[in-house]
Amino acid sequence: MTETIINLESINPIEFFGVNNGKLDILKKKFPLLKILSRGTQIKLSGAPEQIETAREKIDLLVQYLERNGHLSENYFEQILGGDDAETIDHFKDRNPNDILVFGPNGKTVRARTANQKRLVQAADKNDILFAIGPAGTGKTYTAVALAVRALKNKIVKKIILTRPAVEAGESLGFLPGDLKEKIDPYLRPLYDALDDMIPADKLGYYMSTRVIEIAPLAYMRGRTLDNAFIILDEAQNATDLQLKMFLTRIGANAKAIITGDLTQVDLPKNQKSGLDKAIRILKHVDGIAHIELDEEDVVRHRLVKAIIRAYDKEHQVEQVRIEGHHRQA
């Protein structure tokens, strides 16, 4: 019997072992012939040399992934452990160590952190229009803003335009004091937050004052032609059919657009229908337009966000079955 100790000091051990050692239990089930113990930032393996070597290779792959991404879902944890074919292993390896999208203030690096976020980046590089659809917390808006900032820094575009439909999510901001900009800014706050992570405050202020970076509600896009720009339409599920058509036909020469949205979070009044689903459907086969789906495995917020999304999805499915059953009885 052989023993070996692996240090995990370069990563967050909780992300490796999981809450209540959930991921550690998965590791133990994968290697039942090994005795596996966790000790702080170390993991101790005891058993046959060939088993230890195989486990070490898998653990190294897990550590590499966590060093790059900071987060590893249980699903990906199992995929890395269970994928013995070369294609699966290559998928999770750091094939491109220079995949950083943006260097933010104070040396912060911004990069695609999950498999679907990486697909989003690849699709955006190959297409001029991209629909990125998924629930809250999957990084679709953040990744899109990073791509826009990268394009501006690399002089691929001359300006960034970030827009959202100004639709109230169940609350009314009309009573708030201030001018139109001050009333609308709360809707656009997530876009400001993303930019703060990627551009130093003084430079961002300069870009905003010179309209190199413009943040505006969707209604302000009407009548414009957007050339040499990287345009992001965020929360597109709250755009009507006519608004989405208006936005898509604003795109001019040397422009790129990413449309993000979550079809389960429509905040439009009941008499208005979201145009996002229709736009995806009718533009699906247009050359130069791509569509990427993100899901709960891409959530990089608090670990409970993933569980919350799953619970709501399950309840939505139950409600759909109940509605269909009611229609059949009627």
Q: What is the DSSP string of 63-85?
A: HHHHHHHS---HHHHHHHHH--S
Over range 107-117, report the average pLDDT. Answer: 79
The answer to whether residues 217 and 187 touch, using CB atoms and an 8 Å cutoff, is: yes
Least confident piece of the model among 172-176, 251-255, 297-301: 172-176
DSSP symbols for 186-225: HHHHHHHHHHHHHS-HHHHHHHHHTTSEEEEEGGGGTT--
**Three-class SS state of 236:** helix
- Return d(Cα 277, Cα 104) in angstroms, integer: 34
Please choose, from the candidates 157, 139, 140, the residue with its C-alpha nearest in 3D space to the C-alpha of residue 148. 157
Mean pLDDT of 188-209: 88
- pLDDT at position 95 is 47
Report the alpha-carbon distance of residue 101 to residue 149 in Å, rounded: 8
Helices 74-82, 22-30: inter-axial angle, 10-degree rounding:
20
Spatial distance between the Cα atoms of 136 and 273, rounded to a whole number of angstroms = 20
Report the run of H or E that residue 56 belongs to, with start and end. helix 49-69
* Element holding 121 (H helix, E strand): helix 115-126
Q: What is the pLDDT of residue 165?
A: 87
| Residues 6+ positions from 3 with CB-CB distance below 8 Å | 44, 45, 46
Query: What is the distance between the alpha carbons of residues 301 and 70, in angstroms, rounded to a whole number?
Result: 11
Distance CA 84, CA 110 (A): 30
pLDDT higher for 261 or 170?
A: 261
Q: Helix crossing, 201-209 with 180-198: angle to 10°?
A: 140
Q: How confident is the model at residue 97 (pLDDT cuts 50, 70, 90)?
A: very low
Query: For the chain, what is the mean pLDDT?
Result: 83
Taking the whole predicted model, whether its pTM rises above 0.75 is answered as no
In this structure, the strands spanning 256-261 and 129-133 are parallel
Q: Between 70 and 144, name the one with better pLDDT.
A: 144
- The tokens for 149 are 């900032």
Q: Tell which phi-psi region holds residue 273, choosing left (phi > 0), alpha (psi between -120 and 50) or beta.
A: beta
